[in-house]
């Protein structure tokens, strides 16, 4: 089945700890995105990548880092510098970003502080 897989589904972070959220897609999409959603709020863009080995900051990149070493994978690290990490994290992908295609989402990771 083609799709986007996020793991884990639930994650708990201790004070001072970095945690990494996984996002893998087998749709052959060029572009990948990370969003954060807080209760009752809209989606906010953290980072996005239009091509392998390249990525750009979104609106709320502080306290987060990403890498894009493979087309299929776009992991997000929530660092200890992110003081309010509790949220629903969504990964998305799309075909060539210049074509303004819709984005397709994974089923998300819920991150909480211990």
Partner 1 sequence: RKEVEQDPGPFNVPEGATVAFNCTYSNSASQSFFWYRQDCRKEPKLLMSVYSSGNEDGRFTAQLNRASQYISLLIRDSKLSDSATYLCVVNGIGGSTLGRLYFGRGTQLTVWP
Close Cβ partners of 58 (under 8 Å, ≥ 6 residues apart):
33, 34, 35, 44, 45, 46, 47, 48
Q: Please tell me whether residue 42 binds partner 1 under the rule CB under 8 A.
A: yes
What minimum distance in Å lies between the beta carbon of 90 and partner 1? 6
Question: Is the preceding peptide bond at 75 cis, omega within 30 degrees of 0?
Answer: no
Span 67-96, contacts to partner 1 by CB under 8 A: 88, 90, 94
Span 18-37, contacts to partner 1 by CB under 8 A: 31, 35
* Closest to 97 (Cα-Cα) out of 36, 32, 25: 32
Q: Please tell me whether residue 108 binds partner 1 under the rule CB under 8 A.
A: yes
What minimum distance in Å lies between the beta carbon of 10 and partner 1? 12
Task: Please measure the distance between the N-terminal and C-terminal CA atoms of the chain and give it in whole angstroms.
Answer: 35
Q: Please tell me whether residue 97 binds partner 1 under the rule CB under 8 A.
A: yes
Cβ-based nearer residue to partner 1, 16 or 98: 98
* Closest to 26 (Cα-Cα) out of 66, 70, 65, 67: 70
Residues that bind partner 1 (CB under 8 A): 31, 35, 41-43, 45, 48, 50, 56, 58, 88, 90, 94, 97-98, 100-108
């Amino acid at each position: 089945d083609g799709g986007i897989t996020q793991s884990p589904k639930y994650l708990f972070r201790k004070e001072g700890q970095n945690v990494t959220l996984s996002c893998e897609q087998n749709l052959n999409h060029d572009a990948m995105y990370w969003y954060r959603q807080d209760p009752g709020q809209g989606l906010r863009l953290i980072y996005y990548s239009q091509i392998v080995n390249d990525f750009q900051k979104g609106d709320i990149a502080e306290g987060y880092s990403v890498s894009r070493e493979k087309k299929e994978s776009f992991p997000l690290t929530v660092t200890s510098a992110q003081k309010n990490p509790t949220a629903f994290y969504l990964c998305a992908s799309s075909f060539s970003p210049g074509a303004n295609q819709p984005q397709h989402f994974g089923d998300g990771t819920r991150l909480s502080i211990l």
